[in-house]
A and B are shown apart, each in its own frame.
Chain A
Amino acid sequence: MSAGVELNRPSSPSGGFGGNIGRLAVRLVIYAFSIFVILGPLSSLILWSFAEKWFWPNTLPQEWGLQYWSRVLEGKMAEALTVSFGIALLVTVLCIVLCVPLAYMIARYRIPAKPVLLLIFLLPQAFPQLPVFTNAMELMYRWDLVGTLTGVTLIHLVGALVFSVWTMVSVFQSISVSLEEAAVNLGASRIRTFFTVTLPIAVPGIIASSLLVFLYSLDEFTGSLLIGSPFITTMPVYMYNSAMGYEMQTASVTGLLLMIPGIILLLLMQRFMKSEYMAAFGRG
């Protein structure tokens, strides 16, 4: 091995011939490992979604077809798809309306008992959702919200709010106060300053945060299963039901449909992803 330094020059091998082969081998092993580990399970879903007949021990499906994909557009699955997207859209809009002013206040103003307010929005991230949601379910029984769209939307909203407040606070904190002060000094009212100076700068961040909220609601399972049943079936719950009934193809088609928005989002905002935005995604 040579002592060549190539920390920031990934494609400039400076070692001898043996070193090059060694490095290439390491890279190839890592590629093979990554592709197998990440794409292996996912490709199983793709195979199953096109399999009309697949019996063990055939390596590949005996009959291929689009039969299960065509069911997306009809019946129960279409219903689950509509419900899921509808709720996700509603949750996203509610989050924007409620969180933009709140996050702006947290980022800019002195609020009495601010640490308490911050903890209210941070602690839900620390604890498991299931035991809390089972108790929320009892409350919702009292208000007749179990099995209703309102109930499911509310339970999604809790997690979504916690997540979106934090991302939006960091969006507003990244905008320089001096811009706002300049506008105020020139005689603009605070409200006008917010709408003509701050908000336009914050829009990309707000959009990024909203897309993640949309995805959170689309993927939410625990709350939907508890609060939605038996009348409201979202996509993840539909997928759970079909997998439990060993309908492998239906479950795989649903799973792939659930993945598509996330993959699109990943391609779109790869470069803008910050780890603090993502912390709330490690939950389920």
Chain B
Amino acid sequence: MAHNWDFATILQNWPVLWVGIKGTVFIFVITVVLGLGGGLIVGVARYSKSPFVSWPARAFVEVFRNTPVLVQIIWFYYAFPILTGIETDPFLAAVLGISLNTMAFSAEIYRAGIQSISRAQWEAGKAIGMSYNQTLRRIILPVAVKRVLPALTNRGIEVFKMSTLASVVGYVETLNQAKLISDLNFNPIESYTAVAVIFFVVLYPVVQGTYVLERMLRKGD
């Protein structure tokens, strides 16, 4: 069956799609900052020698890594308000689900980075009179974070793709708007192809960038 591709309707509805793109960028920026930032704290806590710190961090990581992110978003949308009395709108539910999930994944990345640093660095820090926190902040973390930069960038890419799940609870982002355009103009092919192309065009250069970054870091180490 021959199909006449007609992207004109997409261009006519560009303002509708643009609202969605802005929604995607907005939720991406917030979740990636909260996720990768919070993950650092959880990752350091997970590495702590005190079981009172490391065990809750470990439980957090296991729970959020071993459940699907869609289940988390829907749980925060429908179940969390009943449990806490705090009303969650689609945006808040999606932000909670995606950020906490990303925190758990990036915590493991940071922890692997910290563990990859030689013990001698810790001892050297101690020898010149630095406390645990000082050594961690000044010596260990700068090197550790640099080492795991490619893994963190990959997480960032995952977060960008994950933002489409926010549409399931009705947050206005690119996929949601494409669905709207498709329902109004009966052009699912063009609508969904446009969304796929938008994501590809944004993420392809980023993925290529991570390859370059990986090569540079390997040389630097």
Is B one of A's binding partners?
A: no
Which A residues have a C-beta under 8 Å from some C-beta of B?
none
Which B residues have a C-beta under 8 Å from some C-beta of A?
none
